[in-house]
């Protein structure tokens, strides 16, 4: 018997669709259902590598984890990773398919519908419930005939839709009513209720508006989700960086992350904030200040972003800070930038044959057409500077990168010993001569509790900062807390009735 479906759409990007979908996945799992997430098409620079080496949106990996299952490429069959010059890398079933201009993509989408339908069909035949997430807004009427992620998908499987509105931005009632006004009658019929998200204030003051909304639309408001900050769920939309506040004001470690134009996988640094660091995303030289730790994160467009840093004067400021003794870490594209030079002879990433890097590590990176996507297990190899005393500590993570980086004289950062394909033995990353600068291709480094605890203690020693007690972060507890918030503020009896066509809140 095919699975039941429930689709979460939003009135705009960053309305909270991904987090609500994750919470519902957790609730359904808690109540005894086999549940899987699905998003037909994602446009995101935060991505994840599945066990089989396929690349999907980070949000679907989080939702799968909340549902107690292994992430699969079928949960996000189409992933768009924006690049410089109005282009995107098109990833289909986890593998790079094409690079194309935005204007070309919508002529290409009909070719993707069969793949999307097959992936969704696979999930429907395997699970009890599939929680489907939309993208952006379903009311983008200029794209109605070509979209492959919102109402077209809902109509494909007759999925009931819950529409999420972000009240924190203001105008939530207008955005909900306006969305309905721009949908066809058949599309409106698929919307079964509303969720008001990110509410702060007195619910009594909101009640008259909810009553008017229900009367005007004839559809129920299923719940009002409060604004919360203390539950760390990975975000995939860069809008989140515009809305987020700086990390803990009482953080004992000041961490500056360079907000590159094409920053990717910035959830790499969420655990630092959870451990009391004040994590700042900076875009200008004045914002940089004099942090205790400077991080160059991953990027989808290393060369374009490096040129931007040079034009803004940030590249020179980063070098000055490093030369003054400020510790610097580069991850993935940030690691490539730390080297002496980057070469792109086949024009894989840009129109430049080569470009000088920051020169903080004695490395050279060469871009080729092949892309590395794999989960890894590794051990810290270096034993100096930032990593002194950490040699042998094991970490898990994943690699997603074009290009290979080489150095003849520097000490490796990590030694990879296992991937899902079996035992391996290769070095990753480079540590500078003074040990205060290192790079790595491995994402998720700080999601390893033991490594992060010992790393931060070592950083405190070097910066002469007071040691503090580290907090143990349990992902499963975080998902349970998210589920509690949603269950407490959403009419789950109605949600189950909409999703399953019957009353109840547990599998019978």
In whole angstroms, give the CA distance from residue 382 to residue 400. Answer: 22
CB atoms within 10 A of CB 9: 27
Instruction: Show the tokens assigned to 458.
Output: 């070592």
Angstrom distances, CA of residue 281 to CA of 244, 380, 473, 495: 10, 27, 22, 38
In whole angstroms, give the CA distance from residue 126 to residue 55. Answer: 21
Active site residues: 332, 443
Per DSSP, the three-state class of 406 is: strand
Q: Is 234 left (phi over 0), alpha (psi -120 to 50) or beta?
A: beta
In whole angstroms, give the CA distance from residue 394 to residue 187. Answer: 50
Burial (Cβ within 10 Å: 0-12, 13-18, ≥19) of residue 121: middle
Owner of token pair 């040699």:
391
Give φ, ψ of 309 to 5 degrees: -60, -40
Q: In this structure, are residues 197 and 165 in contact, taking their beta carbons and an 8 Å threshold?
A: yes
Burial (Cβ within 10 Å: 0-12, 13-18, ≥19) of residue 201: exposed
Q: Which of 292, 258, 329, 313 is nearest to 466 (CA)?
A: 292
Angstrom distances, CA of residue 21 to CA of 26, 61, 486: 9, 12, 10
DSSP secondary structure letter of residue 168:
G
Residues in the chain: 508
CB atoms within 10 A of CB 467: 10
CB atoms within 10 A of CB 283: 16
CB atoms within 10 A of CB 296: 29
Q: Which of 159, 224, 238 is nearest to 191 (CA)?
A: 159
Q: Which of 29, 8, 64 is nearest to 480 (CA)?
A: 29
In whole angstroms, give the CA distance from residue 213 to residue 220. Answer: 8
What is the pairing mode between strands 298-299 and 263-264? antiparallel
Maximum Cα–Cα distance for the chain, whole Å?
72
In whole angstroms, give the CA distance from residue 330 to residue 339. Answer: 10
């Amino acid at each position: 018997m095919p699975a039941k479906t429930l689709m979460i759409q939003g009135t705009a990007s960053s309305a909270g669709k991904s987090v609500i979908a994750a919470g519902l996945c957790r609730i359904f799992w808690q109540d005894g259902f086999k549940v899987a997430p699905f998003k037909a098409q994602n446009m995101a620079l935060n991505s994840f590598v599945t066990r089989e080496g396929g690349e999907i949106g980070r949000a679907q990996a989080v939702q799968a984890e909340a549902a107690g299952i292994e992430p699969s490429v079928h949960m996000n069959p189409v992933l768009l990773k924006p690049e410089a010059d109005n282009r995107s890398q098109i990833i289909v079933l986890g593998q790079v398919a094409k690079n194309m201009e935005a204007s070309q993509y919508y002529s290409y989408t009909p070719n993707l519908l069969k793949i999307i339908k097959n992936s969704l069909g696979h999930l429907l035949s395997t699970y009890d419930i599939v929680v489907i997430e939309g993208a952006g807004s379903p009311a983008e009427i200029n794209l109605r005939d070509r979209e492959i992620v919102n109402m077209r998908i809902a109509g494909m499987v007759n999925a009931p839709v819950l529409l999420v509105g972000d009240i924190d931005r203001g105008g939530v009632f207008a955005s909900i009513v306006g969305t309905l006004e721009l949908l066809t009658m058949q599309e409106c019929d698929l919307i079964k209720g509303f969720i008001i998200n990110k509410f702060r204030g007195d619910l009594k003051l909101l009640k008259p508006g909810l009553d008017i909304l229900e009367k005007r639309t004839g559809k129920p408001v299923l719940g009002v989700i409060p604004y919360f900050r203390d539950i760390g769920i990975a975000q995939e939309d860069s809008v989140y960086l515009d809305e987020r506040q700086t990390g803990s004001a009482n953080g004992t470690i000041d961490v500056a992350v360079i907000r590159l134009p094409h920053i990717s996988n910035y959830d790499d640094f969420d655990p630092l904030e959870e451990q009391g660091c004040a994590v700042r995303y900076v875009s200008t030289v004045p914002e940089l200040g004099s942090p205790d730790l400077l991080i160059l994160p991953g990027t989808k467009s290393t060369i374009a972003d490096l040129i931007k840093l040079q034009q803004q004067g940030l590249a020179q400021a980063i070098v000055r800070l490093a030369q003054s003794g400020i510790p610097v870490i580069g991850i993935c594209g940030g690691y490539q930038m730390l080297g002496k030079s980057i070469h792109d002879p086949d024009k894989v990433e840009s129109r430049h044959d080569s470009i000088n890097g920051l020169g903080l590590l004695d490395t050279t990176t060469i871009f080729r057409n092949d892309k590395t996507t794999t989960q890894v297990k590794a051990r810290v190899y270096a034993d100096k500077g930032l990593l002194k005393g950490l040699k042998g500590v094991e970490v898990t993570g994943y690699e997603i990168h074009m290009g290979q980086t080489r150095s003849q004289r520097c000490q490796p950062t990590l030694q990879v010993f296992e991937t899902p394909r079996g035992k391996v033995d290769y070095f990753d990353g480079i540590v500078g001569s003074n040990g205060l600068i290192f790079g790595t291709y491995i994402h998720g480094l700080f999601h390893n509790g033991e490594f992060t605890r010992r790393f931060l203690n070592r950083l405190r020693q070097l910066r002469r900062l007071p040691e503090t007690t580290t907090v143990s972060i349990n992902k499963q507890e975080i998902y349970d807390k998210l589920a509690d918030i949603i269950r407490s503020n959403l009419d789950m009896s109605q949600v189950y009735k909409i999703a399953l066509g019957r009353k109840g809140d547990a599998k019978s």
